[in-house]
C-alpha cells in the first residue's frame, strides 16, 4: 500500500475516532441530553456535573483513549501496511483526533473542548510532559476549584514543559498548538470567570442526576 495513501487514511480515521461524542452517547444512555443541561458542553466535566461522577469519569477515559489510540497505534499500523512510517505521524494523528473532538462531523462540528483527548495525545507522545501537566491540573484545581482554570493552567504548563524536555521542534510546535486549542475552546469560561459566573466545584456537594 502506498505510504501517502496509508498516512492519509490514518489521519481521516483519527479525526473520525476523535469525533465520536462519548459524552452525548453516555448521557443519553442515562436518559439525559447533555447538550441541553448545565453548560451544554458534551465533555466529561458537564457529564460529571449533570449525570454523575462515575459517568463523567467514564467519558473522560473514553475521550482520552480517542487521543491515545491514534497517536500510539496508527504509526505502527501505517508502517505495517506500507513498509514506511512518515515522521511525526503520531503527532499528526493526535492533532486530527483533537480536531475531531472539538469539531465533530457527527454533531454539526459542535464539540467539546479537547482537554481529555489532548491528554491522550500527550500520554502517547510525551508521558513526562503529560505527568507535569496532570500535577499542575491537580494543584490548580485543589486551590481554585475551577475545572476550567485547572485545564488552562495545565495546557500552558505542558506547552512550556515541551519546550524544556522535547528536543524536536515539531513536537514543541504541536504541543504549543494543542495548548492554544485548549485555551481558545475555553474562551466562554474566561468570560464567565470575568463575570464571576463560572461554576466552582464543591467538594461536599454530590452531582445531581
Which residues, at least 6 apart from 62, have a Cβ–Cβ distance to it below 8 Å?
Answer: 22, 26
Can you tell me the mean pLDDT for 188-207? 78
**Side-chain half-sphere exposure of 155, counting CA atoms within 13 A:** 24
Q: Give counts: helices (H), strands (E), the chain.
A: 10, 0
Is residue 75 within 8 A of residue 158, CB to CB? The reply is: no
pTM beyond 0.85, yes or no: no
User: Which pLDDT does position 150 carry in this prediction?
Assistant: 92
Can you tell me the mean pLDDT for 77-94? 88
Is residue 185 within 8 A of residue 99, CB to CB? The reply is: no
Q: What does 2-15 look like in DSSP terms, one character per residue? A: -HHHHHHHHHHHHH
Mean pLDDT, the chain, as a whole number? 88
Going by C-alpha positions, the residue among 94, 97, 198 that lies closest to residue 144 is 198
List b or e across 23-37, with b for residues whose CB sees 16 or more CB atoms inside 10 angstroms. Answer: bbebbeeeebebbee
Q: Could you read off the pLDDT of 164-173 as tens digits, one per residue?
A: 776 667 778 8
Q: Could you read off the pLDDT of 62-79 as tens digits, one per residue?
A: 999 999 999 999 999 999
Residue ranges per structural domain of the chain: 3-104+111-195
* Res. 208 pLDDT band, cuts 50 70 90: very low
User: Which pLDDT does position 209 carry in this prediction?
Assistant: 45
Q: Could you read off the pLDDT of 90-114 as tens digits, one per residue?
A: 989 999 999 999 999 999 998 888 8
CA–CA separation, 148 and 182 (whole Å): 10
Q: Could you read off the pLDDT of 22-67 as tens digits, one per residue?
A: 999 999 999 999 999 988 889 898 999 899 989 999 999 999 999 9
User: Which pLDDT does position 99 carry in this prediction?
Assistant: 94
Amino acid at each position: 500500500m502506498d505510504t501517502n495513501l496509508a498516512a492519509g487514511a490514518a489521519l481521516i480515521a483519527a479525526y473520525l475516532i476523535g469525533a465520536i461524542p462519548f459524552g452525548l452517547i453516555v448521557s443519553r444512555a442515562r436518559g439525559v441530553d447533555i447538550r441541553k443541561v448545565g453548560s451544554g458542553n458534551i465533555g466529561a466535566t458537564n457529564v460529571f456535573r449533570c449525570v454523575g461522577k462515575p459517568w463523567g469519569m467514564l467519558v473522560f477515559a473514553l475521550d482520552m483513549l480517542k487521543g491515545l489510540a491514534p497517536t500510539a497505534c496508527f504509526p505502527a499500523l501505517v508502517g505495517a501496511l506500507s513498509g514506511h512510517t512518515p515522521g511525526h505521524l503520531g503527532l499528526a494523528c493526535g492533532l486530527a483526533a483533537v480536531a475531531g473532538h472539538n469539531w465533530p462531523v457527527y454533531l454539526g462540528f459542535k464539540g467539546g473542548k479537547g482537554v481529555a483527548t489532548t491528554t491522550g495525545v500527550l500520554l502517547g507522545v510525551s508521558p513526562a510532559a503529560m505527568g507535569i501537566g496532570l500535577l499542575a491540573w491537580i494543584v490548580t484545581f485543589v486551590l481554585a476549584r475551577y475545572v476550567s482554570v485547572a485545564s488552562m493552567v495545565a495546557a500552558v504548563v505542558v506547552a512550556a514543559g515541551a519546550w524544556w524536555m522535547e528536543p524536536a521542534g515539531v513536537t514543541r510546535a504541536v504541543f504549543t498548538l494543542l495548548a492554544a486549542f485548549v485555551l481558545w475552546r475555553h474562551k466562554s469560561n474566561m468570560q464567565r470567570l470575568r463575570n464571576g459566573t463560572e461554576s466552582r466545584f464543591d467538594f461536599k456537594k454530590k452531582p445531581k442526576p
